[in-house]
Structure 1
Amino acid sequence: MMKKIKYCKKNFKNGSKSLYKAMKEQYPDIKRKKSDCLGNCRTCRHECFVVVKSKCISAPSSDLLYKQLKKMIG
């Protein structure tokens, strides 16, 4: 079970802000951390991404990333 998802504030412009809000609403028990920069700039430029257990999870859109995270949560 994932306990915390890290979000990059710079990636919010790529659509991860809507993902952040959706995850907060759907899974209030999972902790969220917003950082100014997570250092995944190459991924950040092209896709939505989050970091779970120090692993970068990315997808071309926030909807696809949301589906990936839902699958991981179970």
Structure 2
Amino acid sequence: MRECPGELPREKGECALSGMSSLSLKFCKKNLEKSGDVLRALQEKYPDLKIEVSDCLDVCGLCTDVPFVLRNNAIVHGRNARDLYLKLERGMQPFFRREPIPGTAAAMALNSGTTDPSSGES
């Protein structure tokens, strides 16, 4: 079974994203010749991920040259499909975090019930 960072593996070896509602990917139908393998790989690995395929994303200059995707409406592109996939995987790592990001409300809520031994409080 595949290891899923930050999540328990599912039966089919798929991974689920925590906080996936804050992550969206949009592929251009006209770019699928270059980015289609990335789309299929992401759909297989992350079946709960919000992925759209639009008829045209109006990025024609980029679309004719390299594989690309809009991640949360920001362009991510690669030299080839493998490069694009690796960039997307690296960029998705924050969505896999098990522990909350330090300084956030979630981290403070998690730490509010614990006592810091170095503070001298008991």
TM-score normalised to structure 1 length:
0.92
Residue 29 of structure 2 is matched in structure 1 by 9
Write out per-residue CA displacement over residues 29-65 of structure 1, whole angstroms, 9 at most, x where no aligned residue: 2111000100010110110000011111001111110
Write out per-residue CA displacement over residues 12-32 of structure 1, whole angstroms, 9 at most, x where no aligned residue: 112x11110000011112111
Higher fraction of helix: 1
Cα RMSD (Å): 1.1
- Secondary structure of 2:83's counterpart equals helix
Task: List runs of 5+ in structure 2 lacking aligned partners.
Answer: 1-18, 94-122
Return structure 1 stretches of 4+ with deviation > 6 angstroms.
Answer: none
Task: List runs of 5+ in structure 1 lacking aligned partners.
Answer: none
Residue 25 of structure 1 is matched in structure 2 by 44
Alignment size in residue pairs: 73
Q: Higher Cα Rg: structure 1 or 2?
A: 2
Higher relative contact order (CA 8 A, sep 6+): 1
Identity value in percent: 32
- Secondary structure of 2:25's counterpart equals strand
Higher fraction of strand: 1
Letter in 2 for 1:6: K
